[in-house]
Amino acid sequence: MPSHNAGPGQLAPLLVVLSGPSGVGKDAVLSRLRTKLPACHFTVTVTTRTRRPQERDGVDYNFVSERRFQELLGRGELLEYAQVYGNWYGVPKDQVREALARGRDVMIKADVQGAATIKRLAPQAVFIFLAPGSLEELESRLHNRHTESPEALAQRLQVAREEMKRLPEFDYIVVNADARMDQAIAQIEAIITAEKCRVQPRIVKL
Amino acid sequence: MPSHNAGPGQLAPLLVVLSGPSGVGKDAVLSRLRTKLPACHFTVTVTTRTRRPQERDGVDYNFVSERRFQELLGRGELLEYAQVYGNWYGVPKDQVREALARGRDVMIKADVQGAATIKRLAPQAVFIFLAPGSLEELESRLHNRHTESPEALAQRLQVAREEMKRLPEFDYIVVNADARMDQAIAQIEAIITAEKCRVQPRIVKL
């Protein structure tokens, strides 16, 4: 009998990329997942964006200067990076490598453009597209955020429409409908459990 | 925005094949899954094997004569069939087609040889290999069944060793270790949930 328990399949940690349009609720979902998946490492994105009042440096993001960001970029230390609405965002490679090397699953939050970049570098990652229940729900959530000008809001909605077209590049779609976040969380947990049962494991090499 | 909720992905029912060596606990696992997945249709296998005392005709199996079995076979009405230890087993095609047409997921129990046959006819099905915690556990379970002669037991163990080699033909491995059946059940449920979130749905055509 093959030692199926000792094979790489059951032990190889997963790299999970959670993406989706702006306003779909990625942060809220990740916040809930954090408590449910204590063994998982949640990468902290580096950004040049201005910190919002409720955000904590080093937890929600690593807020850095434009100069520091370009330095990381120049040294090839970002797994993915993108400029969105004039701000830079990036995922530090070392953080991901170190967690995977310790056998920890890694969860990356990425916008749709960033997920596409990660897919080129790490096609063996698990790509989850978090979708709104409807475009109306998405608009309402962005409105309630009170951080957008009408022009920025309209732009985000247009971008969201375009991003939905990239769904076929993802492995899974999870709908985060209003008042149904429990279901979305349960589905993401199920995806992680199922992926760990795959006979052909997804071994990420960075 | 694409109507991702109305697409075939989320609505197409799954065909799930649960397989694994004799004695691994397929029946016990299926019995538990039945109560957890009331919307799923569990196919009833047709067999020419003698009914064991605790088995119910029409529930555990449809027990039929050799003649009746050959009639079904001749009319091409079996999705898969196999002769194991001198007895015939088969899965009626109509039962599967009808349940899928009604939008119900279908769960088929199959030995490893049967699963291979189903994979040729329905490669889009989800193939789960139920594995024992160890070969010693498997031997102990077969012993406790008290239905096998020492020769039959030795033969089943040899067959199990060979069957483990066919693991790469399956999508998922779920270990049904002693006293860990809860985990196996949870993993199978997670696999079904995750498969329903796939962007590229598995549409079974029979």
Give the pLDDT confidence of A21-33 residue by residue, as tens digits: 988 999 899 999 9
H-state helical runs in chain B: 8-11, 26-36, 66-74, 93-101, 112-121, 135-145, 150-164, 181-196
CB contact under 8 Å between A172 and B199, yes or no, is: yes
Q: Which residues 6+ apart lie within 8 Å of A195 measured at CB?
A: A14, A126, A202, B194
For residue B200, the chain A residues in CB contact (below 8 A) are: 168
What is the C-alpha separation between A114 and A112, in angstroms, rounded? 5
Helix (H, G, I), strand (E, B) or coil at A90: strand
pTM, 2 dp: 0.88
Q: Please, what's the b/e burial string for B62-77 (b: 16 or more CB within 10 A of its CB; e: otherwise)? A: bbbeeeebeebeeeeb
What is the C-alpha separation between B186 and B31, in angstroms, rounded? 14
How confident is the model over A44-74, as pLDDT tens digits? 989 999 999 999 998 889 999 999 999 999 9
Q: Average per-residue pLDDT in chain A?
A: 90
> What is the pLDDT, as a whole number, of residue B119?
95
A132, β-bridge pairs: A176
> What is the pLDDT, as a whole number, of residue A174?
97
**Does residue A5 have a pLDDT over 60?**
no
Q: Which residue of B has its CA nearest to A2?
A: B164
Compute how many other C-beta atoms are within 10 angstroms of the C-beta atom of residue A75.
Answer: 9
CB contact under 8 Å between A164 and B4, yes or no, is: yes
> pLDDT confidence of A206, banded at 50, 70, 90?
confident
For residue B9, the chain A residues in CB contact (below 8 A) are: 173
What is the C-alpha separation between B169 and B20, in angstroms, rounded? 12
What is the C-alpha separation between B43 and B96, in angstroms, rounded? 7
CB contact under 8 Å between A197 and B172, yes or no, is: yes
> What is the pLDDT, as a whole number, of residue B12?
87
CB contact under 8 Å between B193 and A174, yes or no, is: no
Structure tokens at B121: 């006819």
Distance from CA of B173 to the nearest CA of A (A): 5
Q: Are A171 and B101 in contact (CB under 8 A)?
A: no
CATH 3.40.50.1000 fits A8-196, yes or no: no
- A186 contact B CB<8A: yes
Residue with tokens 């408590």: A35
> What is the pLDDT, as a whole number, of residue B10?
52
Query: Into which CATH architecture does domain B11-196 fall?
Result: 3-Layer(aba) Sandwich (3.40)
Q: Which residues 6+ apart lie within 8 Å of B33 measured at CB?
A: B40, B42, B107, B185, B188, B189
How confident is the model over A102-144, as pLDDT tens digits? 999 999 999 898 899 999 999 999 999 999 999 889 888 888 8
Answer positive or negative: Cα dihedral of B119, B14, A173, B30: negative
Query: CA angle, corner A97, sides to A93 and A102, nearest 5?
Result: 155
Domain ranges of chain B: 11-196
Structure tokens at B205: 């055509």
Structure tokens at B131: 């594995």
Average pLDDT over residues A80-86: 86
For residue B20, the chain A residues in CB contact (below 8 A) are: none
What is the C-alpha separation between B72 and B34, in angstroms, rounded? 26
A107, β-bridge pairs: A16, A42
What is the C-alpha separation between A105 and A107, in angstroms, rounded? 7
Q: Are A181 and A28 in contact (CB under 8 A)?
A: yes
How confident is the model over A133-183, as pLDDT tens digits? 998 898 888 888 767 788 888 888 898 999 999 999 999 999 999 889 999
Compute how many other C-beta atoms are within 10 angstroms of the C-beta atom of residue A171.
Answer: 20
Give the length of chain A.
206
**Does residue A4 have a pLDDT over 60?**
no
- A134 contact B CB<8A: yes
Q: Which of A147, A145, A114 is nearest to A129 (CA)?
A: A114
Structure tokens at A26: 């990625």
Closest CB to A197: pick one of B4, B187, B199.
Answer: B187
B83, β-bridge pairs: B88
Helix (H, G, I), strand (E, B) or coil at A40: coil
For residue A165, the chain B residues in CB contact (below 8 A) are: 2
CB contact under 8 Å between B173 and A1, yes or no, is: no
CB contact under 8 Å between B197 and A189, yes or no, is: no
Structure tokens at A75: 């040294």
For residue B165, the chain A residues in CB contact (below 8 A) are: 2
CB contact under 8 Å between A168 and B193, yes or no, is: no
A88, β-bridge pairs: A83
Q: Which residue of B has its CA nearest to A183?
A: B193
For residue A172, the chain B residues in CB contact (below 8 A) are: 194, 197-199
B109, β-bridge pairs: B18
CB contact under 8 Å between B190 and A197, yes or no, is: yes
- A8 contact B CB<8A: no
Compute how many other C-beta atoms are within 10 angstroms of the C-beta atom of residue B189.
Answer: 16
Please report the ipTM that was assigned to this predicted complex. Answer: 0.87
What is the C-alpha separation between B136 and B148, in angstroms, rounded? 16
Main-chain dihedrals φ then ψ at residue B38, nearest 5 degrees: -65, -25
Interface test with B, best of A112, A128, A197, A202 (most B CBs within 10 A): A197
What is the C-alpha separation between A118 and A110, in angstroms, rounded? 9
pLDDT averaged over 10-residue windows placed end to end, chain B, 206 residues: 41 93 92 95 94 91 95 93 88 93 95 91 96 90 79 88 94 93 97 96 88
Half-sphere exposure of B130 toward its Cβ, with a 13 Å CA cutoff? 32
> pLDDT confidence of A85, banded at 50, 70, 90?
confident
Count Cβ atoms within 10 A of the Cβ of residue A65 and give its class: 0-12 exposed, 13-18 middle, 19 or more buried: exposed
Compute how many other C-beta atoms are within 10 angstroms of the C-beta atom of residue A126.
Answer: 24
